Amino acid sequence: MLPRRTGACQSETWRRERVTAFTQVDELLEFLELDRTRIPDLDAEPESWGLRVPRTFAERMRPGDPDDPLLRQVLPLTAERQPVAGYVTDPVGDACAERAPGLLVKYAGRALLMVTGACAIHCRYCFRRHFPYQDLGPSQARLERALDEIARDPSLTEVVLSGGDPLMLDDDRLDALIRDLECITHLQRLRLHSRVPVVSPSRLTARLAASLTRGRFASTLVIHANHPRELDEAVRSALLDWRAAGVTLLNQSVLLRGVNDRIEILTELSERLFACGVLPYYLHGLDPVAGSAHFEVDDAEARRLLDGVRARLPGYLVPRLVREIPGDHSKRPLE
Ligand SMILES: *Cc1c(COP(=O)(O)O)cnc(C)c1O
Ligand code: SF4
């Protein structure tokens, strides 16, 4: 048994992890004992979307390996600066789906609320890397306006807290937000989309699990892991605690060239997720966001990979392969 962490201790760890994250490429490479010359296409000073990698995540990378699948997800490359036809700043049509600043409604019954623009880690393939978060305005007034909009539309039954990353907010603010949402009687379900549980599992406090489960909502946490090695023992222990507290756990991944584009890796990812109490939900085709073209896996190859996973695993461990097409009424199945 791991020693039980108290709430105060957990949040202190989390604060420390945020301030000690790597933000300089050279410091990360030194930590990994990697010489710059081993990565000829490195972009040590990206113009935008700077490096951000918590040490807890860097510790899961293989020292001395320029092709490490965890490193590749966060390392800025010169290829990002090359314009590629079809790769744009708003690939999923977020701007057209905004009902209020930071409130997106694309699908029946579900509203997605961006509660912050901040993230614990900067993923190079992120479809929101160019999102104008700074235009969202002061957060409290904006959130109140979004809550008013949700309250005015009785067809909405579920709110997805997103960002950025919603777990960048502290427990008190999240608790207050959850209680406000509970007052909107037509809402039945609450969902959090977050990469923080994988990157910094100390953020999964018992207090926050209680906030999510003590009210009237059925709550789901959708984590984001792309490679089995992201799910170490600390992540597993924190997730199992949350599952025991009554939170439904799902995972979404992005299919990324050089990271998880092999049948064995995807199979192992599903198995490891299950060991952490998590079911695979979506495997997303890359959104064509400017700067990410080097991660693209074409649809035919994606189907072949998923078919290979299906041949090896029970159906409940096979994620749904989807792509987001602006204007569709759901994520589009690729199969
Ligand atoms: C992906 C997404 C959702 C959630 O879709 P599910 O298929 O229910 O997981 C909701 N709102 C927006 C705007 C989304 O992009
Ligand atoms: S954690 Fe999610 S929102 Fe944040 S950079 Fe990564 S993919 Fe984007």
Q: Which of 64, 15, 16, 75 is nearest to 41 (CA)?
A: 75
Q: Which helix (H) or strand (E) holds 320?
A: strand 320-323
Q: Domain for residue 26, yes or no?
A: no
Are 283 and 322 in contact by the 8 Å Cβ rule? The answer is yes
**Whether the CB of 230 sits within 6 Å of ligand 2:** no
Q: Domain for residue 285, yes or no?
A: yes
**Whether the CB of 112 sits within 6 Å of ligand 1:** yes
Q: Which residues contact 153 (CB under 8 A, 6 or more apart)?
A: 105, 111
Candidate from 199, 200, 224 with most ligand 2 atoms within 8 A of CB, to mutate: 224
Q: Which of 236, 248, 240 is nearest to 212 (CA)?
A: 248
In DSSP terms, 90 is beta-bridged to none
Q: Domain for residue 79, yes or no?
A: no
Q: Domain for residue 52, yes or no?
A: no
Using CA positions, which residue lies closest to atom 8 of ligand 1?
Answer: 110
Number of domains comprising the chain: 1
CATH of the domain at 146: 3.20.20.70
Q: Domain for residue 12, yes or no?
A: no
Q: What's the CA-to-centroid distance between 83 and ligand 2, angstroms? A: 21
Q: Domain for residue 76, yes or no?
A: no
Domain residues for the domain of 279 are: 86-333
> What's the whole-model pTM score?
0.96
Q: Domain for residue 305, yes or no?
A: yes
**Whether the CB of 256 sits within 6 Å of ligand 2:** no
Q: What's the CA-to-centroid distance between 185 and ligand 2, angstroms? A: 31
Nearest-atom index, ligand 2, CA of 122: 5
**Whether the CB of 124 sits within 6 Å of ligand 1:** no
The series of mean pLDDT values per 10 residues for the chain, 335 residues long, is: 59 89 97 96 92 97 98 97 94 90 96 94 93 72 95 98 94 96 98 98 96 96 98 98 98 98 98 98 96 96 98 98 95 93
Q: What's the CA-to-centroid distance between 195 and ligand 2, angstroms? A: 7
Q: What's the CA-to-centroid distance between 97 and ligand 1, angstroms? A: 12
Q: Which residues contact 139 (CB under 8 A, 6 or more apart)?
A: 115, 116
Q: How far is CA 4 from CA 8, 11, 201, 221, 309, in A?
A: 12, 14, 14, 21, 36
Are 69 and 227 in contact by the 8 Å Cβ rule? The answer is yes
Q: Domain for residue 146, yes or no?
A: yes
| pLDDT number for residue 319 | 98
